[in-house]
Amino acid sequence: MSPIISVEGLSKTYATGFQALKTVDLQIERGEIFALLGPNGAGKTTLISIICGIVNPSGGHVRIDGHDVVADYRAARSLIGLVPQELSTDMFETVINTVTFSRGLFGKPKNPAHIEKVLRDLSLWEKRDSKIMALSGGMKRRVMIAKALSHEPQVLFLDEPTAGVDVELRRSMWEMVRALRATGVTVILTTHYIDEAEEMADRVGVIRQGEIVLVEEKAALMRKLGRRQLKLHLREPLAALPPGLVDPALELSADGTELTYTFDATADQGGVADLLRRLAQHEVDFKDLQTSESSLEDIFVSLVRGRT
């Protein structure tokens, strides 16, 4: 199947002369949840804004289901729902009017049944006649999502959907995004919360200084770049590693009570068995051991620092 979004050779230099995107190539598959990660100022919002037709590119192309976002703007834009970072809506309007009006902006015929479904799915139906200003922050955010879904888009962009929201609302957002994906909607989210990407995404893209430095299936990324650590709590502290045990992967804590062995998550376990044998040979005894795996956060930090 062809990708739903195809970004080719995209670049953006703002009027200030600042080059926010270098040459970005990216394909988003139908029905996936794609998380775009990157530090502040990396170019995430610029990229999303160009894909949504809000900002003009300096070079390259974006196609949404074959429609060019510049040449065929209306067709491309009608396939997209965008939930921006900032709340931008008429605070004096009621929930149902705001969401109904958003649908009208896309020239779609009225469909009260769809609007009702969207509001019910987002637990906003009971509040449909409330003015937006009278809603809690979490509800206002959900109104933004309802607006973005009002015209039945195939792709939903969520720019930092859970920034500053409480744990419960984050969880309910995640559930809602999964439910949307189950209906065939493709979801692209930007986030600073690595655990959000780890929890939600099928694929992860990392952007750094206007360049996509990595696009990978999350599971493969974690397998490929993940590291495992084995920590051994020694029965007797060591002043130094015996010469036969010196190994770059093996580190003795400053107080001599703990040994840390770091190895590839993909590697077979031979290294660990070999280490345990060598420890026995050198009569290094331990009372406890623990293993841990690097998280997507560790991987992300090493990527944005440019170590890979």
Ligand X SMILES: Nc1ncnc2c1ncn2[C@@H]1O[C@H](COP(=O)(O)OP(=O)(O)OP(=O)(O)O)[C@@H](O)[C@H]1O
Applying CB under 6 A, the residues found at the interface with ligand X are 14, 16, 18, 20, 38, 40-46
Phi and psi at residue 212, to the nearest 5°: -80, 115
Q: What is the largest CA-CA distance in the chain?
A: 79
Q: How far is the CB of 96 from ligand X (least distance, A)?
A: 31
Q: How far is the CB of 167 from ligand X (least distance, A)?
A: 21
Q: How far is the CB of 12 from ligand X (least distance, A)?
A: 8
Q: How far is the CB of 48 from ligand X (least distance, A)?
A: 8
List CB contacts of 218: < 8 A, sequence separation 6 or more. Answer: 35, 197, 198, 201, 202, 203, 204, 296
Pairing label, strands 203-208, 33-37: parallel
How far is 69 from 72, CA to CA, in rounded Å? 6
Question: Does residue 10 contact residue 61 with C-beta atoms inside 8 Å?
Answer: yes
> Measured from the CB atom, is 163 or 241 closer to ligand X?
163
> Measured from the CB atom, is 78 or 161 closer to ligand X?
161
Nearest to 99 by CA among 142, 137, 134: 142
Q: How far is the CB of 162 from ligand X (least distance, A)?
A: 14
Bridge partner residues of 62 (DSSP): 7
Structure tokens at 279: 């420890």
Nearest to 218 by CA among 308, 307, 301, 295: 295
Phi and psi at residue 183, to the nearest 5°: -90, 5
> Measured from the CB atom, is 163 or 238 closer to ligand X?
163
Q: How far is the CB of 179 from ligand X (least distance, A)?
A: 26
Nearest to 42 by CA among 203, 193, 155, 190: 190
